[in-house]
Structure 1
Amino acid sequence: MGDNMADSVSSAFDADIELGSRILSSFHVDGRWVRPDGEQAVELISPATGRPIAAVVLGSTTDVDRAVHAARRAFDTGPWPRWSGPERARMLSRLSAAIASRLPLLSRLWTWEVGAPVRFADLFVPTLTAMMDYYAGLASTTAFEELRATRAGHARVVRQPAGVAALIAPWNAQSPILGYKLGAALAAGCTVVIKAPPETPFDALVIADCAQEAGLPPGVLNVVVGDAVAGAHLVSNAGIDKVSFTGSTATGKLIAKACADRMTRVTLELGGKSAAVVLDDAELDATLAALVPFTMPFSGQICFAQTRILVPRRLEQKFVEAYTAVIGGLQCGDPWDGATQIGPVASRRQRDRVLKYIETGRSEGARLTTGGGVAPECGEGFYVQPTVFAGVTPDMTIAREEIFGPVAAIMAYDDVDQAVGLANDSDFGLSGSIFTRDLERGYSVARRIRSGNVCVNGLEVAPNVPFGGFKQSGIGREGGPEGLGAFLEEQAIYLPTPLGAPS
């Protein structure tokens, strides 16, 4: 990639024009744009070129405390938690409409910040407004109070907002994941503090700008940008009642421990090592067409990537050859090019991590069928060749650990029972898929997979369906009524039968 092409990539997004100085240099606290108290700045590096594209000021513990105080005051004394569900629904709809006008910007941000190919970003960014619209509808129809008869009279079961919620979404899919958390939290009546990561610092600030435009009451939505230190301070803050975190299992465990100390309510959506089970009756071309986009989407940097592919042993060679040919033919290159299917990984650190896993796969005896190294032909940034290993056994590192890169492992099985055993032989249980011509058979096998989400003949996430994991893939669910329930507390108020009333 020559200098002219590199300049073209780096100039595809003009932050000063598209974001403006307010979003580039401020946090959003108590309905106002405020200068960060922290002075530590880090460079935002373009994954497509390896060059600096912006300076990001990280929030201090003082910034975090200021945001929590604003959210606490808005919850304790403001109108938001006391509005009815339909009232909050109307405001959520206004917020969603404001965000909808910025979806092209949020899609471009995803490409600029971490190198998501534009075709991928355009497809998944609308998840944000889909979730906001879904929870607006749910807020307008949910019974936040119900009556239950008791021996002495009745009880009113009231579903109260949990309180001040800390929302922490990862760099890899900031906007879509925030849609799950923010939509449910606001529908429930919580006030929130969003801790945006240094890698994708501006997405949540764009949403905050939309909240201000929509007229959300001050203090209901607050945003600071911070690193792990700021995140740890946020989750341990006494003003936080609920934590919703998406990220690595290692960090999730630390957050769970911090929340346990204060009995803070917590939802954790963590890592995955999902298995795609190809049954012996699956039609090869249809399976490849449905499977390939989800084995290494966004260069494999998505928690639900189907990175373990289980195939019948008698069909192994045929499948490996066909799958390898498709993966080897994926177009790698500039993420701003609409034809690009594989862009860069997000950072130099991420590239080196993925390459280390590839070398481990080789050293442990897996057979490399395509890829296996850096991809200078794709560009000057952090490109890794789409990589496929065959002959993988369940004890190998690449079969057990989340690589978070464009690496797929093919494993052979002898019968369905063994396939189920291999699929479940994992510390994780987030996603999975079954490929078959017989949908009822697919459903039957899916029921045996210890995973929070299993799809038959494809992969889908829907706003009204819960998303989350078994085992070390997390605790709790996001999406659907279950996601709303994660931000609510049930309160029972007993009342006797009034004097003179019939019992």
Structure 2
Amino acid sequence: MNEQVKVPHAREVFIASRWQQPRGEASLVKVISAHSEDVICELPDASIDDAAHAVEQARAAFEQGEWPRLTVEQRLQFATRFRDALASMEGFEKAWAIEGGMPITTVKAMYGMSMFGIDDVLGLATEIPLSEIRETRAGRVEVRHEPLGPVLAILTYNGPLAELGMSVFPALLTGNPVVVKLPPENRMIGHFMADAAAQASFPEGVLTIITAGAEVSKYLVAHHDIDAVHFTGGNEVGAEVGAVCAQRMARVTLELGGKSAAIVADDVDMDETVPKLVRSMTAYMGQVCVTTSRILVSRKRHDELVEKLSKALAAMRIGPPQDPKTEFGPMVSERVRARSEGFIERAVAAGAKIATGGKRPEGFECGFYIEPTLLVNVSNDMEIAQNEVFGPVYCVIPYDDIDDAVRIANDSRFGLYGAVLTNDEKLAYDVAYRVRSGSFGIGGAFPMLIAPYGGMKQSGWGYVGSREGYLTLTNIKSIVLPVAA
């Protein structure tokens, strides 16, 4: 298949709302196809000098520029142009499939979901007042939601377009300049997203979109002119981000990992339930924080579920991500595949058994492929049941009764998502209220990202989405009004 992609501004970086030449010793980095392992192109790696310039310009835009002082309606004009440019990017879907290994059908679904989320934020901006007069027992007060200052958004490779709607658009609409830092796995699509931002013609300094490694992230998180940080990623790095922000009292929102449990009740039809489980387990080959990687089922229905689930996973069509028939593509990189393989190896050494998968698929001499893997004979205290894989490795764990299932689901340091599959409405709500997770799906539904979305326990703190996420990106000021004469 043709893997050539015309990347916009392939030798420039998008800083302070404009394409420009990299600063310092700019280096070009090879972009590798997840399917063929061929070099697709070479793109600039943003340096610390570039990051420093981005923050300097963002601070200037906040202190001296017009952006924080525009009305919401005026900021909406820029944001809407950005949204429209994102919606019409030619080549973006192909680039995401090639660079990220995401099946093109999933890319299209993610694209539509992301635009829906962005549209929801644009609607919120017209509905939520940033100032109101309140009558209190002590008198009248004006409550204002004012911009925070420069916001850093560190996004993750599995959903950067969706995260624009979850963090970047709300930050912009509430008057904050934003520096977006994408991971190395998003180099090509980062250029497409930046070119869409360029078409919106934001004022100078308001929006930066760069791709860089960990050193640039560390520099930006610690920068005294960054007033708020939105971080999406793993728990270990998230804890470091939170600690650095705490040292300088910067606002921080952490979207971290999960080890979500799907509780399968005894009353379900397995032929109807298994396809729902497969969809929630294998989205982007398990490289999703809300993947239901722990499947909890009663002992009496355990073998039935394992048999049907194994057949369904084994029947998934593995292939090139550009092929519309592909259901399961390669991992985003060799590093991510190796991580999954390490989890499988250690799980088997600890006593788990492979029901299906567990190896690289036959017929794929290149590409970062690994089969969807189902493990059984797993207890909830094993590493594979407690740590996030971020890959296609899933385990089935038996329970004694529903109370035991809830106990197992909650026996985790994570609390991002959970699900129950049952025909009993009363049971469904009972389980939903008892499982400690920021989001929960009755019937195995995917989390609603335009609702308040965030995690409990070590799955992070803070929320994105809806009114709660929108107003998180503001400072609250109360102005006591004079008593009428």
Q: Does the Cα contact within 8 Å between 1:335 and 1:343 map onto a contact in 2?
A: yes
- % same residue: 36
Instruction: Tell me the equivalent position of 1:375.
Output: 361
| 1:272 and 2:272 correspond | no
Deviation at 1:178, TM superposition (A): 2.5
Task: Tell me which amino acid in the other structure corresponds to 1:265.
Answer: R
Distance in structure 2 (CA, Å) of the matches to 1:208 and 1:54: 17
Instruction: Tell me the equivalent position of 2:339.
Output: 353
Structure 1 pair 152–428 and aligned structure 2 pair: CA distance change class (3 A): closer
Task: Tell me which amino acid in the other structure corresponds to 2:265.
Answer: L
Distance in structure 2 (CA, Å) of the matches to 1:30 and 1:57: 17
* 3-state DSSP of counterpart to 1:126: helix
| 1:211 and 2:197 correspond | yes
Instruction: Tell me the equivalent position of 1:194.
Output: 180
Distance in structure 2 (CA, Å) of the matches to 1:150 and 1:303: 43
Deviation at 1:288, TM superposition (A): 1.2
Instruction: Tell me the equivalent position of 1:79.
Output: 66
Task: Tell me which amino acid in the other structure corresponds to 2:17.
Answer: G
| 1:229 and 2:209 correspond | no
Deviation at 1:378, TM superposition (A): 4.0
Distance in structure 1 (CA, Å) of the matches to 2:266 and 2:155: 38
Q: Which of the numbers 222, 238, 243 marks the counterpart of 1:252? A: 238
Deviation at 1:291, TM superposition (A): 1.4
Deviation at 1:85, TM superposition (A): 2.2
Task: Tell me which amino acid in the other structure corresponds to 1:75.
Answer: F
| 1:338 and 2:324 correspond | yes
Unpaired runs of 5+ residues, structure 1, are: 1-7
Q: Does the Cα contact within 8 Å between 2:343 and 2:389 map onto a contact in 1?
A: yes
| 1:183 and 2:181 correspond | no
Q: Which of the numbers 393, 408, 421 marks the counterpart of 2:394? A: 408
* 3-state DSSP of counterpart to 1:481: helix
Instruction: Tell me the equivalent position of 1:5.
Output: none
Task: Give the TM-score normalised by structure 2.
Answer: 0.96
Task: Tell me which amino acid in the other structure corresponds to 1:93.
Answer: T
Task: Tell me which amino acid in the other structure corresponds to 1:58.
Answer: D
Deviation at 1:172, TM superposition (A): 2.1
Structure 1 pair 465–152 and aligned structure 2 pair: CA distance change class (3 A): closer
Distance in structure 1 (CA, Å) of the matches to 2:358 and 2:137: 70
Task: Tell me which amino acid in the other structure corresponds to 2:33.
Answer: S
Structure 1 pair 297–366 and aligned structure 2 pair: CA distance change class (3 A): same
* 3-state DSSP of counterpart to 1:255: helix
Instruction: Tell me the equivalent position of 1:465.
Output: 451
Distance in structure 1 (CA, Å) of the matches to 2:360 and 2:140: 68
Distance in structure 1 (CA, Å) of the matches to 2:398 and 2:137: 61
| 1:443 and 2:429 correspond | yes
Distance in structure 2 (CA, Å) of the matches to 1:347 and 1:465: 31
Distance in structure 1 (CA, Å) of the matches to 2:173 and 2:131: 15
| 1:128 and 2:128 correspond | no
| 1:58 and 2:58 correspond | no
Task: Tell me which amino acid in the other structure corresponds to 2:29.
Answer: V
Instruction: Tell me the equivalent position of 2:29.
Output: 42
Deviation at 1:268, TM superposition (A): 0.4
Deviation at 1:453, TM superposition (A): 0.8
Deviation at 1:463, TM superposition (A): 4.6
Instruction: Tell me the equivalent position of 2:99.
Output: 113
Deviation at 1:459, TM superposition (A): 2.1
* 3-state DSSP of counterpart to 1:78: coil
Q: Does the Cα contact within 8 Å between 1:194 and 1:204 map onto a contact in 2?
A: no
Instruction: Tell me the equivalent position of 1:3.
Output: none
CA deviation string 1:270-315 (max 9, x = no partner): 1111101001112212211211111121111111110000001110
Task: Tell me which amino acid in the other structure corresponds to 2:226.
Answer: I
Task: Tell me which amino acid in the other structure corresponds to 1:166.
Answer: L
Instruction: Tell me the equivalent position of 1:399.
Output: 385
Task: Give the TM-score normalised by structure 1.
Answer: 0.93
Instruction: Tell me the equivalent position of 2:352.
Output: 366
Task: Tell me which amino acid in the other structure corresponds to 2:292.
Answer: Q
Distance in structure 2 (CA, Å) of the matches to 1:57 and 1:30: 17
How many residues are treated as equivalent by the alignment? 484
Distance in structure 2 (CA, Å) of the matches to 1:364 and 1:153: 66
Task: Tell me which amino acid in the other structure corresponds to 1:90.
Answer: Q
Q: Does the Cα contact within 8 Å between 1:387 and 1:407 map onto a contact in 2?
A: yes
Q: Which of the numbers 272, 290, 302 marks the counterpart of 1:286? A: 272
Distance in structure 2 (CA, Å) of the matches to 1:148 and 1:170: 40
Q: Does the Cα contact within 8 Å between 2:177 and 2:205 map onto a contact in 1?
A: yes
Distance in structure 1 (CA, Å) of the matches to 2:131 and 2:198: 30
Task: Tell me which amino acid in the other structure corresponds to 1:78.
Answer: G
Structure 1 pair 211–41 and aligned structure 2 pair: CA distance change class (3 A): closer
Question: Structure 1 residues 373-382 or 407-416, which shifts more?
Answer: 373-382
CA deviation string 1:294-339 (max 9, x = no partner): 1121111111110000001110011110111101111111111111
Distance in structure 1 (CA, Å) of the matches to 2:402 and 2:119: 40
Aligned alpha-carbon RMSD (Å): 1.6
Distance in structure 1 (CA, Å) of the matches to 2:143 and 2:60: 26
Structure 1 pair 401–27 and aligned structure 2 pair: CA distance change class (3 A): same
Q: Does the Cα contact within 8 Å between 1:161 and 1:487 map onto a contact in 2?
A: yes
